[in-house]
């Protein structure tokens, strides 16, 4: 919403020491927007190491510092390169944070609550987008557009304080680091008032199996060179699902929505702004529905319904764009698209990785998945101005095809993981990695392993 105020000085000039705006064309604006997802790709790869070195909780706290630095740079920028650098730093923070938060939420949750808590990530993200849109509506003039980034920096600081005082590290991560006392205390705090003895014993048993199997941490190269077919295939599924968080057209429906709708409604900026705000509200409401039903309906069913709904929304968008007198069709298309997107494509990608890959491959698989998300964020945001300019009213035909292909992929290849224990992945992967070593004596080895595990749990 502040696009014209930032790039074309339509918001006036307050006479402050900083420039009233940073003049740029719509295509140049696309490149400044692209600095954010480029940073996101970098941050995703960095998270592969930072998640292991610092743990999930500390890694998210580090990203808060980067959020503050990047937003302050954008807020006081005096030229386009400086503005873009600030956005890139925020992108790095977002890439690191998104990967860490999705793992963190999955690992601290119970099997039954994981889907709902994972959906809360997208719910609050959408609430943040809606909050930003409302702020942008009333702060689209100099110098207030700069304070938009100041608000983000303040929120990042508050987040860091909340993380420090109210959260704990993942018990699963602490057990992997052999910090068993801290892990037990963290689990008890997360399950306040509950008996955690059985759950903690299961955590210890899973880590014991991991130690006995002596499986090394898998790198991205190990996954790409198919050291374990099961993990590589599941990583591909994670990457595809993460890609559909961005690939199906959500960028044009959010980042470029006001400009796109203004064009469709023959320059009616007020109508375009109102529809964009309505989309933000629907996005938040639909995500709340997903929070309530994700465990009952299942991950796969929600993803298929989401992609079919997005396909329908894109079809209606093309139909409505050909006849702008039917404004109701365009409004219905936008609401249908956003509503169905939020049910599956918006929420499932953020907690699917820990349900599909074991812990020793989780950091690398999550980094690849998050990178796919950010890569498509970058590609769509860069290509959309050209798609819109060349295809015009048929621009959303591209997303009709993309969303339907995604539906077919999920239908045939995505496994259902609802209610799955996170350590089931570890057990299955450990078994595959050790098949070649066990040979003819596997039966005897299994009995010996079971005996050890029973003794360990009893102790």
| 221-249 tens-digit pLDDT | 899 999 999 999 999 999 999 999 889 98
Q: At what angle do helices 269-297 and 327-343 cross, to 10 degrees?
A: 30
Q: Which two tokens stand for residue 256?
A: 């470029």
Query: Is 387 contained in some domain?
Result: yes
Is residue 204 one of the residues assigned to a domain? no
Q: Give CA torsion, residues 431, 437, 443, 447, to 10 deg.
A: -70
Phi, psi of 389 (to 5 degrees): -70, -35
pLDDT higher at 154 or 296: 154
Q: How far apart are CA 307 and CA 302, in angstroms?
A: 9
Distance, C-alpha 342 to centroid of its chain: 12
In a domain? residue 79: yes
Q: How confident is the model at residue 447 (pLDDT cuts 50, 70, 90)?
A: very low
Q: What is the pLDDT of residues 35-64, one digit of tens each?
A: 888 898 899 888 888 887 888 889 999 999
Q: Stretch 418-432: mean pLDDT, rounded?
A: 59
Angle 373-177-239 (CA atoms, 0-180°, nearest 5)? 15
Question: Can you read off the two tokens belonging to residue 101?
Answer: 């938060």
Domain assignment of residue 294, given as a range: 3-11+19-178+222-427
In-domain check, residue 103: yes
Residues 411, 293: Cα–Cα separation, whole Å = 19
Whole-prediction pTM value? 0.73
Residue 36, domain member (yes or no): yes
Least confident of 1-10, 168-177, 261-270, 327-336: 261-270
Local confidence band at 85 (pLDDT 50, 70, 90 cut-offs): very high
Residue 358 in domain: yes
- Whichever domain contains 52, its CATH number is 1.20.1250.20
The domain total for the chain is 1
Tell me, yes or no, whether 401 lies in a domain: yes
Distance CA(99)–CA(433), nearest Å, equals 26
Instruction: Specify whether the CB–CB gap between 35 and 51 falls below 8 A.
Output: no
pLDDT for res 21: 79
How many residues belong to the chain?
Answer: 459
Question: Coil, helix or strand for 19?
Answer: coil
| Domain-located, residue 274 | yes
């Amino acid at each position: 919403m502040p696009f014209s105020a930032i790039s074309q000085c339509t918001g006036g000039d307050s006479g402050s020491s900083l420039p009233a705006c940073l003049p740029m064309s719509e295509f140049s604006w696309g490149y400044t927007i692209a600095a954010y997802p480029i940073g996101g790709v970098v941050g995703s790869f960095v998270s592969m190491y930072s998640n292991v070195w610092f743990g999930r909780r500390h890694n998210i706290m580090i990203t808060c510092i980067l959020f503050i630095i990047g937003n302050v740079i954008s807020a006081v920028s005096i030229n386009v390169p400086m503005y873009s650098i600030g956005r890139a730093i925020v992108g790095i923070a977002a890439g690191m944070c998104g990967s860490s938060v999705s793992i963190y939420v999955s690992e601290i949750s119970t099997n039954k609550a994981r889907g709902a808590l994972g959906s809360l990530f997208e719910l609050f993200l959408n609430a943040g987008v809606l909050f930003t849109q409302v702020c942008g509506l009333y702060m689209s003039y100099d110098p207030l557009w700069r304070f938009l980034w100041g608000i983000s920096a303040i929120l990042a600081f508050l987040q860091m304080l909340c993380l420090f005082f109210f959260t704990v590290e993942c018990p699963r991560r602490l057990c992997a680091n052999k910090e068993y006392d801290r892990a037990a205390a963290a689990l008890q705090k997360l399950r306040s008032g509950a008996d955690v003895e059985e759950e903690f014993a299961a955590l210890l048993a899973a880590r014991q199996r991991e130690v006995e199997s002596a499986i090394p941490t898998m790198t991205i190269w190990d996954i790409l060179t198919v050291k374990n077919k099961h993990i590589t295939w599941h990583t591909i599924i994670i990457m595809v699902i993460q890609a559909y968080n961005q690939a199906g057209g959500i960028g044009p429906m959010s980042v470029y929505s006001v400009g796109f709708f203004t064009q469709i409604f023959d320059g009616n900026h007020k109508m375009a702004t109102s529809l964009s705000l309505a989309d933000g509200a629907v996005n938040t409401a639909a995500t709340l529905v997903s929070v309530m039903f994700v465990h009952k309906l299942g991950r796969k069913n929600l993803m298929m319904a989401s992609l079919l709904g997005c396909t329908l929304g894109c079809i209606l968008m093309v139909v409505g764009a050909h006849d702008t007198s039917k404004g109701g069709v365009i409004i219905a298309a936008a609401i249908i698209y956003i509503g169905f997107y939020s049910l599956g494509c918006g929420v499932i990608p953020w907690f699917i990785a820990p349900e599909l890959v074991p812990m020793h491959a989780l950091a690398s698989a999550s980094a690849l998945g998050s990178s796919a998300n950010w890569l498509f964020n970058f590609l769509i945001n860069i290509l959309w101005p050209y798609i819109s300019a060349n295809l015009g009213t048929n621009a959303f035909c591209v997303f009709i095809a993309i969303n339907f292909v995604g539906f077919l992929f999920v239908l045939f290849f995505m496994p259902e993981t609802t209610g799955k224990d996170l350590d089931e992945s570890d057990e299955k992967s450990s078994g595959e990695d050790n098949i070649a070593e066990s040979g003819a004596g596997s039966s005897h080895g299994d009995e010996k392993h079971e005996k050890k595990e029973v003794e360990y749990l009893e102790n």
